[in-house]
Amino acid sequence: MLESLLDPRRWQITFDSIDAFWDGFFVTLQVVVWGLILALALGTILGVFSTTRSRVLRAISRVYVEFYQNTPLPVQVIFMYLMGPQLLQIATGSAAPVPIPSVVLGFVGVGLYHAAYVAEVIRTGIEAVPRGQMEAALSQGFTRVQAYIYIILPQTFKVILPPLCNQALNLVKNSSVLALVAGGDLMYRSNSFVGTYGYLQGYIVACVMYFIICFPLSMLVQYLEKRSKRVPKAKKLRDIAPELTKEA
């Protein structure tokens, strides 16, 4: 096994196919970026819904979260792959099923899935903000929507940045589910290479490329965790208002 992994000829063949791996890498990167945007946007909305006074909005958020957290991501993506074109055909009135591009299928799949987890993170962060903040905002003439946008959510995101970055890491790894439907992503390219040549070098290359995406996010998580635990230092008067100290 070790000899085959170190075989120069196998590595030469692997590097000759490196363009296919990079194509898969950029497909995965697109899925990750758009999936993160979808997960953050939808997750924030659902997280806010779960903390409102409206029973209907709380129920919508709860049903969504429970459904996506308690069903496997591969099943969701395969269902979208098989049923999505037919549902689009019905919705658009087309004569034939409407094909869904692999990148769209990938980022919608992982985006909808991780939105459920982001919603729970957002809900926890909002509940950590003292209730008096909302009451104070309302007493100053803010509407509830304005209070969430300008008062509650800015404080929430400062608290939840580390767990949000962890969700981003999980989303990168879960993007490999696109290989189940021949999505052209990095995992699919690796499976195709290994299936063609039988060389495990294809999976090693895939690991390195996933590491290129995940490692910066991992470092960001560690930095944000350290920063969140840091106690703010009091500033000296001359740093806040030097002109006052000069006058004094």
pLDDT per residue as tens digits for the range 137-181: 888 888 888 888 888 888 887 778 778 888 888 898 899 888 888
Using an 8 Å Cβ cutoff, are 17 and 195 in contact?
Answer: no
- pTM here is 0.82
Q: What is the mean pLDDT of the chain?
A: 85
**What DSSP letter does each residue of 128-192 carry, written as one string?**
HS-HHHHHHHHHTT--HHHHIIIIIHHHHHHHHHHHHHHHHHHHHHHGGGGGGGT--SHHHHHHH
The whole-number average pLDDT for the span 211-218 is: 87
Q: Count Cβ atoms below 10 Å from residue 30 Cβ, excluding itself.
A: 17
In a 10 Å sphere around its CB, with 0-12 CB exposed, 13-18 middle and 19+ buried, how is residue 39 labelled?
Answer: buried
Position 126 scores a pLDDT of 84
Position 68 scores a pLDDT of 93
Only one residue has tokens 């409206």, namely: 54
The whole-number average pLDDT for the span 89-109 is: 88
Give 35-83 pLDDT, tens digit per residue: 999 999 999 999 989 988 889 999 999 999 999 999 999 999 999 988 8
Q: How far is CA 20 from the centre of its chain?
A: 25
Helix axes 201-229, 8-16, angle to 10 degrees: 70
Amino acid at 27: V
Using an 8 Å Cβ cutoff, are 217 and 169 in contact?
Answer: yes
